[in-house]
Amino acid sequence: RACIAAHRFKEAVPLLEKSCMRLSRDTELLHLLAESYLQLGHREKAEEAYKRINKLEPYNEGVKEALKALAKV
C-alpha cells in the first residue's frame, strides 16, 4: 500500500499479485491490484481483476461501473 500511496505502481503490482494469491477473496487487495494495472496501462489485467471482484461481490456497483468503462475502451 505504501508503494501505491507513493505512486510506485510498477513496484506494487508484484507484491499485490503475491498477496492476492494468498488471500484470493480479499477484494480490497484485488481492487488495489486492478487500479495499479490501470495506472500502468494494463487494461486487460485490470478487467480480469475487476471480474474476480465482481464474482465475490456481485452487488458492488463501483466494480460494475469500472467494468463498463473498460468495455468502452
Report all structural domains of the chain as residue ranges with CATH numbers, in order of start: 2-72 (1.25.40.10)
Which residues have a Cβ under 8 Å from the Cβ of 18 and sit 6 or more positions away? Answer: none
pLDDT for residue 1 is more than 90: no
Question: What mean pLDDT do residues 12-39 have?
Answer: 95
pLDDT at 5: 66
For all residues of the chain together, what is the average pLDDT?
92
pLDDT for residue 73 is more than 90: no
Please give the C-alpha separations between residue 11 and each of 22, 50, 69, in angstroms, as whole numbers: 18, 20, 25
**Tens digit of each residue's pLDDT (9 = 90 or more) over 26-46:** 999 999 999 999 999 999 999
Give the amino acid at 59: Y
